[in-house]
C-alpha cells in the first residue's frame, strides 16, 4: 500500500513563520506534475504561488482560503502516480490499488528525479511544466465535485487568462479583489496589454461613476448598512463607552511591520539628529539635466541615494549590524558586523502597507542606475511580487516622507539595521545667502541611528556629508 506524500508549507523567506492561504489552484482529484502551482499564499512580504515538488493525484488540501498556515505544517497530500485515487481527507483510509502499472511507476520515478525540492516560483525544479489536467473521476470523486462545479472552475480559470496570450495571468491581488466583491472577471473588459484585467478595472466595476439625477426626482433613502457593520456598531467598548464601528485583524504586512517596529523600539537605543538643507542647487541641476535629456533624468531621490551610499563609505559604522557573538568570558556577547557594500533600502507605500525593498550593491550604481532600480522595485512591491531577498536584505534605509507633505519625522530604525535617513518635502523658505535674505528650496534631513554602533560625532559627520552634497551636488558628483 503506497501512502500519499505530504508536502509541508515551505520556508517562504527570512523570518517568515506563517502565511495566509489565499486560494487553491487545484482540487482533490486533480492530477498534477512537478513544479505545478498548487496554491496562492500571502506572506507578510509578498503574494506567491507555491508549486508542488511531487507528481501525482491531489488527495488532501490541508486548509481553507483565508486560513493562516504555519511553516512546516501540511499544505497538500499527493498520491503518487499509479497509486490509489484521491481521498477525501487526511483521516480517510487510502485504498491500495489492485495492480501498479510499470509504465506509471516509471513515470513517477522519473518525475521524482526531476524534483529538487525548491518550491518558490522562479526557483522551482528543472523539468517542471505546471500543466494541470483532471483525472478520470472515480464515483467517490464525482459525488464530491459535481460536473457543473468542475465546469464553473474551468471557466473561471479561462477567464483569469488573457485571450490570445497564454502566459499572461491576471494578478492574484486582482483576482482576490474580484472574489471578495463578487465580481465575475468574465464580465470585465481589461484595459491592460492584450486585454489584461487591471486593478483599476475591478475598482471601476465595484464603484461605478455616479449618475446625476435632476433635482427633486431622487427619492430619500436610508443608507444601507451591512450585517457585519451593524453588529459591530451595537458592540460597545468597555473603557470608553463608545460604540465599536469595526474590527480589523492585524496580519500580513501590518503584523510584520508592527512586530519589527516594536522590536526596534525595545532593542535599539536610538538617537536622532537633523539639519535643514538648501537644496536649490540640486533642484537646478536636475532641471538642467531634464532640459537636455527629458527621458533619462534621475529623480531627486536617486541623487540623494547616491550621496547616501557615498556617505556610508566614509562612515561605515552606519552600514553595519549588531549580532550575538556567542558565549564569551563575560557571558553572551555582541559584535558589530560591517558590510563590504551597501544594500540601500527605501520605504515605499503600497496598498498592503509600508514595504522596504532594497537596491542591492547600491554603492556601485550611478544616479541613473539607482533611479531605474528604485522605479522597478517600487512597481514590484506595489504588485505584491517582491521576493524575500528584495525585501529583507537592506543594510541602511532611506525614507522619503516628503511625498506625504511633511517636513520631518523621528523615524523608527528598520531592525536589524542601525540607521535610517529621512527626507522631508522641498519647499520655498527664506534663507540667508552671502549675508542677504533670499528665497531658496529647503528640505530637512533627519537621521535616526543606533547609539551602540557610533556616537553623535559619526552620525553628525554622515548627516553633514549628505547635506553638503545636496547643497553642492556638482562638486560632489565629480568626485564620485
- Give Cα separations from 386 to 47, 251, 350, 358 (angstroms): 8, 18, 12, 10
What lies within 8 Å, CB to CB, of 121 at 6+ separation is 37, 48, 49, 50, 51
Residues with Cβ < 8 Å from 147, sequence gap 6 or more?
A: none
> What is the dihedral angle through the alpha carbons of 200, 166, 185, 19, rounded to the nearest 10 degrees?
-80
Q: Is 451 a catalytic residue?
A: yes
C-alpha cell of residue 48: 506567491
How far is residue 196 from each of residues 163, 192, 209, 318, 340, measured CA to CA in Å?
Answer: 8, 4, 22, 44, 43
Which segments of 67-149 are extended strands (E)? 68-70, 74-79, 133-134
Handedness of CA 410, 416, 418, 419 (dihedral sign): negative
Q: Could you tell me which residues are beta bridge partners of residue 331?
A: 328
Sign of the torsion angle spanned by Cα atoms 474, 377, 460, 315: negative
**Which residues have C-beta within 8 Å of that of residue 277, sequence separation ≥ 6?**
442, 443, 444, 445, 467, 470, 471
What is the DSSP annotation of 241-305?
Answer: -PBP-------HHHHHHHHHHHHHHHH--EEEEEEEEE-HHHHHHHHHHHHH-TTSPPPHHHHHH
- Which three cell numbers mark 228? 457585519
Q: Which three cell numbers stand for residue 302?
A: 536617486
Q: Which residues pair with 446 in a beta bridge?
A: 274, 422
Rounded CA-CA distance 373/362 in Å is: 9
Measured CA to CA, the distance from residue 86 to residue 29 in angstroms comes to 5
Instruction: Express the helix, strand and coil content of the chain in percent, nearest 5 each.
Output: 35, 25, 40
Q: How far apart are the first and last CA of the chain?
A: 68
SS3 360: coil
Q: How many angstroms separate the CA atoms of 218 and 211, rounded?
A: 11
Q: 3-class SS at 223?
A: coil
Residue numbers annotated as active site: 451
Amino acid at each position: 500500500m503506497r501512502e500519499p506524500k505530504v508536502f509541508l508549507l515551505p520556508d517562504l523567506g527570512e523570518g517568515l513563520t506563517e502565511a495566509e492561504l489565499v486560494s487553491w489552484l487545484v482540487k482533490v482529484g486533480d492530477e498534477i506534475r512537478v513544479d505545478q502551482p498548487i496554491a496562492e499564499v500571502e506572506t507578510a512580504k509578498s503574494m506567491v504561488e507555491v508549486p508542488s515538488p511531487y507528481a501525482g493525484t491531489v488527495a488532501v488540501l490541508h486548509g481553507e482560503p483565508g486560513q493562516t498556515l504555519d511553516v512546516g505544517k501540511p499544505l497538500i497530500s499527493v498520491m503518487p502516480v499509479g497509486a490509489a485515487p484521491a481521498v477525501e481527507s487526511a483521516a480517510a483510509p487510502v485504498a491500495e490499488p489492485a495492480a501498479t502499472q510499470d509504465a506509471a511507476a516509471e513515470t513517477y520515478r522519473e518525475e521524482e528525479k526531476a524534483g529538487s525540492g525548491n518550491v518558490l516560483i522562479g526557483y522551482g525544479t528543472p523539468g517542471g511544466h505546471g500543466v494541470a489536467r483532471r483525472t478520470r473521476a472515480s464515483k467517490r470523486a464525482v459525488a464530491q465535485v459535481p460536473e457543473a462545479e468542475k465546469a464553473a472552475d474551468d471557466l473561471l480559470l479561462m477567464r483569469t487568462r488573457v485571450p490570445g496570450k497564454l502566459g499572461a495571468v491576471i494578478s492574484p491581488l486582482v483576482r482576490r479583489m474580484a472574489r471578495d466583491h463578487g465580481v465575475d472577471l468574465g464580465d470585465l473588459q481589461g484595459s491592460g496589454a492584450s486585454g489584461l484585467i487591471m486593478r483599476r478595472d475591478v475598482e471601476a466595476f465595484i464603484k461605478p461613476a455616479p449618475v446625476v439625477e435632476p433635482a427633486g426626482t431622487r427619492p430619500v433613502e436610508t443608507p444601507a448598512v451591512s450585517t457585519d457593520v451593524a453588529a459591530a456598531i451595537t458592540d460597545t467598548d468597555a473603557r470608553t463607552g463608545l460604540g465599536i464601528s469595526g474590527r480589523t485583524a492585524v496580519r500580513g504586512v501590518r503584523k510584520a511591520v508592527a512586530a519589527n517596529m516594536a522590536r526596534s523600539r525595545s532593542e535599539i537605543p536610538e538617537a536622532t539628529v537633523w539639519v535643514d538643507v538648501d537644496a536649490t542647487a540640486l533642484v537646478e541641476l536636475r532641471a538642467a539635466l531634464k532640459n537636455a535629456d527629458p527621458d533619462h533624468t534621475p529623480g531627486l531621490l536617486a541623487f540623494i541615494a547616491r550621496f547616501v551610499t557615498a556617505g556610508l563609505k566614509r562612515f561605515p559604522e552606519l552600514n553595519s549590524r549588531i549580532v550575538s557573538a556567542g558565549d564569551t568570558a563575560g557571558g553572551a556577547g555582541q559584535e558589530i558586523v560591517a558590510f563590504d557594500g551597501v544594500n540601500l533600502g527605501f520605504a515605499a507605500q503600497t496598498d498592503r502597507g509600508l514595504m522596504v525593498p532594497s537596491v542591492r550593491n547600491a554603492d556601485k550604481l550611478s544616479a541613473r542606475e539607482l533611479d531605474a532600480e528604485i522605479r522597478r522595485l517600487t512597481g514590484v512591491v506595489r504588485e505584491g511580487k517582491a521576493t524575500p531577498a528584495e525585501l529583507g536584505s537592506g543594510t541602511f534605509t532611506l525614507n522619503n516622507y516628503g511625498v506625504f507633505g511633511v517636513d520631518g519625522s523621528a523615524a523608527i530604525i528598520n531592525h536589524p539595521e542601525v540607521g535610517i535617513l529621512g527626507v522631508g518635502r522641498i519647499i520655498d523658505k527664506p534663507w540667508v545667502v552671502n549675508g542677504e535674505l533670499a528665497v531658496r528650496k529647503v528640505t530637512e534631513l533627519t537621521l535616526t541611528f543606533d547609539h551602540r554602533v557610533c556616537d553623535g560625532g559619526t552620525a553628525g559627520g554622515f548627516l553633514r556629508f549628505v547635506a553638503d552634497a545636496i547643497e553642492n551636488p556638482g562638486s560632489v558628483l565629480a568626485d564620485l
